[in-house]
Amino acid sequence: MISWNEITSRAENEGRTYLMEHECKELLEKQGISTTGASAARSSAEAVEISNRIGYPVVLKVLSPEVIHKSDAGGVKLNLKNAAEVERAFNEIETAFADKKLAGVAVQKMASPGLEAIIGVSRDPTFGPVLMFGLGGVFVEVLKDVSFRILPVTEADIDALIREIRGYTLLRGYRGTSVDLPALKELLLKISEMVMRYPEIREVDLNPVFLYTDGNVIVDARIFLEKPDAAAPRLSPERESTNLRGLFYPESLAVVGASDTPGKLGWNVFDNLLRHRFTGKLYPVNINAKTVQGVPAVASVREIDGPVDAAVILVPAAHTLKAFEECCQKGIKFIVIESAGFAETGEDGKNIEKELRRLAETYHCRFVGPNCSGIINTHHQMVQSIGTVGELRQGNIGLIAQAGVYAAGMLWGLRHTMDFAIVATIGNKADINETDILEYLGEDDFVEVVCMYLEDVKSGRRFIDVARDVAAKKPVIVLKSGRTEAGKKAVSSHTASLAGDDQIYDAAFRQAGIIRAADNEHMFGLARAFSKQPLPSGDGVLVVSYTGSWGVAAADALSLSGMKPAELDDETYRRLKEILPPYVGCHNPVDCTFDLNPVQLREIIEVGLQSGNISSFIVILQAEILQSYVEELKKIDYQGKPILSCVPCKEFAISEVIALEQAGFPVYSTPEEAVAALSAMYRYAMGNC
C-alpha cells in the first residue's frame, strides 16, 4: 500500500493541493477506517475488470486534478449493475471530461444504504484543527445540525460531540432502528488521530458516511493539503510560563506619568492607589514635578533607590518605548502599559508593540497591555484604574477584561452588588494574555469565580487546556463579543483583534467546561449567584412567591431549563400547612397571594431546608416592602442550599436591592433570569456546562 509521503509527494509534483478519491481512501484504510474503496481504471476494459472483481452494483467517479466537486460536474455514475453499464458509464465520463486532465475513473463498490452522516475537519485560525460531525442530507443542508470539537479530542469530547446534535435521537434508536455508536465514536477518534499525525492535512470532507447497526463506511472522501507552517493556527508569540504573583501582589510600584493635575489619567491612577491605601511602596515618576499628590517624585525610574517590583506606564505612545526600556533596565519584572495608541491605530502602533515585545524578551520581564486600564487587587489594596473608583470591598470574583471600561466606568456601579478579588484588564495583550491571567487566577486562593470579557483568544489550544483545568476547580464564565459580522468589524478597530467563527468558540468553551454568557447582564447575573451562594446538589427547587403569575413563570422556566419544582413530601406538606394561611393552597410554587411577610418567608425556607427533595430556592419578593425581608433572610442557615431572589421592578427599589445583594442574596428582575442563573449553577455542579 502506498505511503503517506508517496501520496503527498505525488500530489505536490502534480501541483495539487488535494488528494484524489482513491488516494483519500487508501489513506483512510491505512488508519483502520472502513471505506467503499476506490480503484483507478484507465480504460473501460479495466473498469469492467475491477467491477467484476469487487462485485456489482458499482459506482464510477471521474478522477481529475481539475475536477474537485465530482457530483456537481456530472462525474458520478451510480448503481451500475453489469459490465455493459460500466463500459457505457466509463465512455460517458471520458467524453464529458475530454477537455480536462483525466487521470482515469475511480471504480468502487456501491454501498448499502444506511443513516447518512457527515464528518469534516477544518483549520481554525485561533484553535487549529476542528472536528465537525452531523447527520447528512436535510439535517446539514437545511437545519445546519452539526457540532464541533477542537482537536485532539478525548473519548468524553467525542461522546459530547455526538450527543449535542438535534438528531441524536436517530442515532440512539428510533422505531426499532439504531446505529453502532461505539463504532461511530471509534471512527471519530481515528479521524482525530490521523489529522494530528499528518499536519499537512488542512481539510477533510467525508460525505456521506453511512452508519449501520453494525459498523460504518466512508462513501465519499476529500482531503485538502497545506504546508504545515501555513496550516498552523495563528497564535500569539508564546512566552515561557511565568508566575504572575508579582504582578498582582507587588511590594513596590512605580507610576510613570503620575500627575498632580486633577482630571488627567495620571492623576486618577495615582489617586486611586493612595485612596485605596496601597500596602507597598509607591513611587510617582514625573519628569516635571518634585512631588505628586504630596508624594516625592522622581524624573525616571532609574532614580528610585532600591528595587521596584512593578510599574504602571501612562505616558503618550510616542514616549512609551523610552519609559518601558528604563523600567526594564531598572530590573522591574512586571509592567502595565495603560497608554493607548498602539496596534489598535494601525501599522505604526503595531511596530511599537513589536519593539516592546523584543525589549521584554531581552530583559526577561512581562507586561500587560498596552491600551488597558490596569490591575485591581482588593486583597492588596491596589487599584490602578484610569477611572476614579470608589470604595471596593474585598471579594471572591476574578474578572479578566479585554476592555478597560470594566475596571473604570462599569466598576463604579458594579461594586455596589459585586465583590471582586482581582480585576485585570488586558487591552491589546501584546504579551500577557487572557490565558496567562486565567492560569494565575486558577491558583489564587481569594478567587472563587472567574469572569472573562473577550474579543478574541490568542492561543486557542492552550486556552482550552488551561480553562479546562481551572473550570474543574472554580466556575469560569465568559462573555465573547464579535459574534456577528458587525461586531467583528467593531472588534478589529477596538483592540486590534480578529474575532473567530462563533460556532467554533462555542464548541471550544463547551469543551473546556466554560459557562458562556449571552451578554453583560447575564455574565454578572451568573457571577453574583456563583459568588454569593452554594451550588445546588439536585434539580428540585422550591419557589416561594407573593403572586401566582410570577410563580407560574418560574415553574415554566425551571421545566425548560432542565430543573423542576420539587415534589413536596408528606412531612414538608404538613409543616407548610401550619405556616400558610388557610386560604393559600399548599403547592409548589408556594403562592402567598400578597401576604408574604418576612417571618413567614424565613419559616417556609427553613421547612424546605429539611426536605431531601428540595435542593434550592427561588423567592419572589415585593419591591415595595423589600427592606423588611433582609434581616430575616440573613438569619437563615443555608445548609448548602442556594437561595436566589426575584424582585419585579427592582430598579425602583435600588437601595433595598443593594442591601439584599450585600447580605449575600443575588437579586434578579424576572423569574426567568433567576432560573437561568440557578440552572447554570446546577449544570456546573453536575459537571455539565
| pTM beyond 0.95 | no
Would the pLDDT of 488 be above 70?
Answer: no
3-state secondary structure string across 625-644: HCHHHHHHHHCCCCCCCCEE
CA 70 from chain centre, in angstroms, equals: 37
At residue 442, the pLDDT reads: 98
pLDDT greater than 70 at residue 233: no
Residues 322-332 have a mean pLDDT of 97
Distance (Å, whole) CA 326 – CA 331: 9
- Residue-level pLDDT at 493: 35
Q: Which residues are CB-contacts of 339 (< 8 A; sequence separation ≥ 6)?
A: 257, 313, 314, 315, 316, 317, 320, 369, 370, 371
Contacts of 262 (CB under 8 A, 6+ apart): none
Instruction: Give the architecture-level CATH label for domain 245-529.
Output: 3-Layer(aba) Sandwich (3.40)
Q: How far apart are CA 265 and CA 3, in angstroms?
A: 63
> For cell 500577557, what's the residue?
432
Contact between 258 and 229 under an 8 Å Cβ cutoff? The reply is no
Which residue matches cell numbers 467554533? 504
For the chain, the structural domain boundaries read: 4-109, 115-231, 245-529, 535-685
The architecture (CATH level 2) of 4-109 comes to 2-Layer Sandwich (3.30)
- Nearest CA to 384 out of 253, 491, 264 is that of 253
pLDDT surpasses 60 at 334: yes
Closest of 272, 268, 271, 266 to residue 285, by C-alpha: 266
Spatial separation of the C-alpha atoms in residues 431 and 361, rounded to whole Å: 10
On the question of pLDDT at 240 being above 90, the answer is no
Task: Retrieve residue 234's grid coordinates.
Answer: 495563528
In the predicted structure, residue 487 carries a pLDDT above the cut 60: no
Question: How far, CA to CA in Å, does 41 sit from each of 59, 562, 588?
Answer: 12, 56, 72
Q: 560 is written with which cell numbers? A: 425548560
Find residue 667's DSSP bridge partners. 645
Query: Would you state the pLDDT for residue 237?
Result: 46
Alpha carbon distance 315, 320 (integer Å): 6
The answer on pLDDT for 247 being more than 70 is yes
Dihedral over Cα of 607, 611, 617, 619: its sign: negative
Nearest to 245 by CA among 444, 393, 400: 444
- Would you place residue 1 in the very low, low, confident or very high pLDDT band (cuts 50, 70, 90)? low
Does the pLDDT value for residue 235 go beyond 50?
no
Mean pLDDT lowest among 79-93, 156-170, 356-370, 474-488: 474-488
Whether pLDDT at 555 is above 80:
yes
**How far, in Å, CA of 408 to CA of 415, rounded?**
11
Counted residue by residue, the chain has a size of: 689
Longest Cα–Cα distance in the chain: 100
Distance between CA atoms of 179 and 210, rounded to whole angstroms? 10
Fold agreement between 4-109 and 245-529: no
pLDDT at 166 over 70: yes
Give the Cα separation of 585 and 629 in Å (integer): 22
pLDDT value, residue 446: 98
Question: Does the pLDDT at position 492 exceed 60?
Answer: no
Cell reading at 183: 463504532
Q: Report the share of the chain in percent with pLDDT over 70.
A: 95
- Grid cell listed for 584: 393559600
CATH annotation of 115-231: 3.30.470.20
Note the pLDDT of residue 395: 98
Contact 210, 116 (CB under 8 A): yes
pLDDT score recorded for residue 491 = 45
Architecture of the domain delimited by 535-685 = 3-Layer(aba) Sandwich (3.40)
Q: Are 431 and 484 in contact (CB under 8 A)?
A: no
Calpha distance 338→384 (Å, rounded): 9
Tell me if the bond preceding 182 is cis, omega within 30° of 0: no
> pLDDT at residue 392 above 90?
yes
